[in-house]
Amino acid sequence: MMDFAIQLAVAFRRGTARGERSMFSSMGISRQELMTEMGALTHRLILEHRRTFEARRANDGTRDSSQVHEAFQVSRIPSDPKQRWVDGTPEYSFGMIGLHKLFPEARFIHIVRDCDEVVGSMLNFTGGYKLAEDENDAYRVWMRYVGACIDAERGLGPEIACHVFHDDLVRNPEALMRQLLDFLSEPYVSACVQPLVKRINSSPPPAAIRANSDRSLDPKLLQEARGFWSMVRTGGTSSGSSSDTAIRLEKAFERRVEYFDLLDARHVEAQQVVERLQRQLDERTASALRLDAELGEARKQLFGLVNRAAVIGQAPRRARFSSAIGSKVKTLLSTLRPWLKGGRETP
C-alpha cells in the first residue's frame, strides 16, 4: 500500500500544478487532508469487506485443508467487533513515512530477527522467486531493510513505531504480546497467543547455515552484519525520536514523489533524444555512404591519371618529353604509390 501513498501524493502534485486555478488549491485542500481522507476511506472499505475476506478464506479451506487452522480465524464469533486490521510485508520497511501520511492513527511494529537466521530463510525460500542471489547479497539486504526500519522508528517516534525481537516472540510469546498490546493501547486476551502455537515458516538454524556457508562469503560483510545485529539487539539503536531523521525521511519521500511525478515527462524527453540521435545516425550514415562513393570515383580517376603518367614515364628518349620530365614523374609515382590501393607497379 506504500505505492498507493506515493501515487496519491503524485496525483495531488499534478492536480495542484496550476495553483489557484486548480480545484484543490482554490478550496484550500491540503495534500495531508486528501491523504488522510483517502486513508479513512480505505480503512472503512477494508472493514466493510471483512465478511468477503472470511468467505474467501473459508472457500480456500475447502480446497486445501492445510490453509485452515482454528488459531488463524479473522473473528472468533460473528459479532466480534473487529476494528483493527494488519497488513505486513518487508517492503513496508521503505514506506512507513508515506503510510503514516495515509493512516495517521496507524502503528508500525518491526519484528527483528537474527541476521544469520534471516539469511538462511532467504536462501531457502521456495516462493517461486529469489530473495537473494547468495549469502553476501542476503546479508546486505538484511542490513538495508533493518536499517530502514530503525530510521523510520527514529523519524516517527516511539509512540508510532517500535521494534521487537523474533527470539522473544518464540521464547515468551505472552509477555511479548502483552508488550505489543500495551503499545497499541489494546487489552490483552489470551486468544491473542493462539496463532503462535502453529509455526507457518521455518529456516535452518544458524549452525546449519554456517556449516553450509558459501566459501565466497565476504568475512568483512559478515562481521558488519553481525555487529549491526548485536547493536540492535542490545539497544544500541534505541535513541528515541530524532528530528534530523524525520526531516531526512520527509525529504526522501518528497524526492520520490517528485521522481514519479516527472517520470512520464522524462520518458517523453528520453524518447525525443533517442529519435534525434537516430536521425543524426541516419544522416551521418547516408553522408558516409556518399563520401565513400565519391572517394571510389576519385580513386578511379586517380588510377587513370597514374596509369597515363606511368606511360609517359616509360616513353623513349625520342618522345617530345625529355628524360628529366620522365624522372620527375617517376618521383611523383613513388610518392603516391603508398596512398593508392591496387595501383599498377611502375618500374
Q: Across-strand partners of 111?
A: 164
What is the enclosing helix (H) or strand (E) of 312?
helix 243-314
Concatenating the DSSP letter of every residue in 106-168 gives --EEEEE--HHHHHHHHHT--SSS-S-SSHHHHHHHHHHHHHHHHHHHHHH-TTTEEEEEHHH
Q: Quick check: 12 and 31 in contact, CB under 8 A?
A: yes
Give the per-residue pLDDT at 161: 94
Q: Is the dihedral of CA 254, 112, 121, 74 positive or negative?
A: negative
Residue corresponding to grid cell 530524532: 242
Q: What is the pLDDT of residue 324?
A: 55
Pairwise CA distance, residues 346 & 324, whole Å: 17
Handedness of CA 281, 286, 287, 293 (dihedral sign): positive
pLDDT attached to residue 345: 46
Residue 250: partners with Cβ closer than 8 Å, 6 or more residues away: 97, 155
Q: Per the structure block, which three cell numbers stand in for 198?
A: 502453529
Question: Given this model, what pLDDT does residue 336 score?
Answer: 60
pTM higher than 0.75: no
Q: What is the mean pLDDT of each run of 10 residues along the chain (347 residues)?
A: 93 90 89 95 90 78 66 68 84 94 95 93 83 93 96 93 92 92 91 74 53 72 95 79 89 94 91 94 91 84 73 53 57 61 46
